[in-house]
Amino acid sequence: MADISVRMGELATSADPGTVLVSIGLGSCIGLALVDTGARVAGLAHIMLPGPGEHASRPPGTFADTGVAALLAEVLALGARRMRLSATIVGGAQMFGSAGRMQVGARNEEAVRAALRAARLPVVAAETGGGSGRTIRVYLDDVRVTARAAGGSENVLYGGLALPV
Amino acid sequence: MRTNYTEIELDALRELANIGAGTAATSLSGLLGIPIDVSVPTAAALPLADAIDATGPAELCVTGVAIPIDGDLAGSALMLFPEDDVATLCGLLGLEPDSEYAASALGEVVNILCASYLGALGDMTGLQIDLGPPEQVVDMLGAIMGSILAMSAAAGDVALMLDSALIIEGQACSLSFLLIPSADGVDGLLAQLGLG
């Protein structure tokens, strides 16, 4: 299977069952997966900051608000149906914890959830917060979303065999 | 907002990094009792995703020690230690890598190096540079760098990274010292050098 790496600020979509969308090493960043298990279309954004993302020179995936909007537009363009889309979010850790430093991870999660609410996209699974980095993978073959914390094992958060019949 | 720096500006920043790292190497040499060499530093202004790739594979498990910087120069100083280098450094300090002292010793080494490096920078530029307490994590390189960049480079389109390697003589161990100033911080540095 071909991995498509989605780096900080980037987003990618696929309808090819041979691909895996992956964001390696999410710290305070959020990996946002939008999937339509019916159409077997998925997208992944690697969001860095809460926003607002009015800076046009930045990749659209950089901020929560522009990232959600851009990812939604791309999965719809690939044939996803809005009614069937669901969101999974991973990341938003607080890796450097001293008081007074920006709580970027928690603010990222809050902003992504708010943008998803505004777009009426349900969050069906999440693995967020804590102090460890994580990797998110979206497998297009059975449209499942997984998370793996540093030094841990890979958990299926949504889709795949866990899909409701 | 700055999205690029001229070669002259990058050269000036490289020279600052060189003097900072030289001072840090002298401190480390005094601490370990062995000679330390300094590589030619790199100064690069990179888009944020490229800045992470430039430090190594995102999935690599490393120990990262970050020191928040404030005052006239805001940003972060960061040292990244692959597992082997943690063991080497602990060996040189006479400590077991997994002992409870190893983590605090590593934090203290980074503290000393940062204080020397940034002290030299402050002396040269007349900027008041305040160091916060070191924070240490063991995690994926990408997660550490992403979190640091999100805090330090929040207002910038590119990350300016000053990277110096301290090479410990006789050991296959080189310590990478990264200074990641905020966009405003870089302008302040350059202004003090007459390049603002």
Q: What's residue A54's pLDDT?
A: 67
Q: Across residues A99-106, what is the average pLDDT?
A: 74
| Residue A55: pLDDT band with limits 50, 70, 90 | low
- Who among B141, B150, B154 is closest to A29 (CB)? B150
CA–CA gap between residue B72 and residue B67 (Å, rounded): 15
- Count other C-beta atoms under 10 Å from residue B187's C-beta: 15
Other Cβ atoms less than 10 A from the Cβ of B122: the count is 18
pLDDT, position B1: 46
Suggest the residue from A4, A7, A128 to mutate for an interface test with chain B (most B CBs closer than 10 A). Answer: A7
Measured between alpha carbons, how far is B118 from B124 in angstroms, rounded to an integer? Answer: 10
Mean pLDDT throughout B77-83?
88
A61 contact partners, CB below 8 Å, separation of at least 6: A6, A9, A10, A11, A45, A46, A47, A48, A67, A70, A71
| B147 chain-A contacts, CB cut-off 8 A | 27-29, 93, 95-96, 104-105, 133
pLDDT value of residue B96: 82
Task: Annotate B116-166 with DSSP letters as a single string.
Answer: HHHHHHHHHH---EEE---EEEEEEHHHHHHHHHHHHSTT-SEEEEEEEEE
DSSP alpha helix (H) spans, chain A: 64-77, 104-118
Q: Write the pLDDT tens digit of every residue in A71-101.
A: 999 999 999 999 999 999 999 999 887 645 6
**A11 vs B contacts (CB less than 8 Å):** none
CB contact under 8 A, B147 and A28: yes
Each residue's pLDDT tens digit, B124-173: 888 899 999 899 899 999 999 999 988 875 556 677 788 888 888 887 77
Residue linked to tokens 């003589």: B169
**Using CB atoms, which residue from B47, B139, B154 is nearest to A133?**
B139
Q: What Å distances lie between residue A37 and A86, A137, B181, CA to CA?
A: 9, 15, 43
Most trustworthy range by pLDDT among A38-42, B15-19, B78-82, B176-180:
A38-42
The structure's pTM equals 0.89
Work out the percent of chain A whose per-residue pLDDT is above 70.
91
A101 catalytic, yes or no? no
> Per-residue pLDDT tens for B27-79?
989 988 889 888 888 888 888 888 889 888 999 999 999 999 988 888 888 99
State both tokens at B174: 């080189």
Supply the pLDDT for residue A94: 92
Q: What is the pLDDT of residue B145?
A: 93
* Token pair belonging to B180: 């990641």
pLDDT digits (tens, 9 = 90+) for A29-46: 999 999 999 999 999 999
Residue predicted with more confidence, A105 or B152? A105
Which pLDDT score, from 0 to 100, does residue A165 have?
45
Q: Which of A22, A29, A44, A75 is catalytic?
A: A29
Per-chain mean pLDDT for chain A: 91
Q: Which residue of B has its CA nearest to A27?
A: B143
Backbone region of residue A2 per phi and psi (left: phi > 0; alpha: psi in -120 to 50; beta: other values): beta
Residue among A151, A127, A123, A122 at smallest CA distance from A137: A127
Is the pLDDT at A138 greater than 60? The verdict is: yes
Strand order, beta sheet including A86-91: A11-14, A41-47, A30-36, A86-91, A123-128
Overall average pLDDT of the B97-123 stretch: 86
Joined tokens for residue A88: 């999974």
Where is pLDDT greater, at A15 or B41?
A15
Which pLDDT value is given to residue B7? 87
Subunit contact A8:B48, Cβ cutoff 8 A: yes
Q: The tokens of A156 are what?
A: 């299926």
Residue A151 φ/ψ region, left for φ over 0, alpha for ψ in the -120 to 50 degree band, beta for the rest = left
The answer, yes or no, to whether residue B5 has pLDDT greater than 70, is yes
Q: Pairing state of beta strands A19-26 and A2-5?
A: parallel
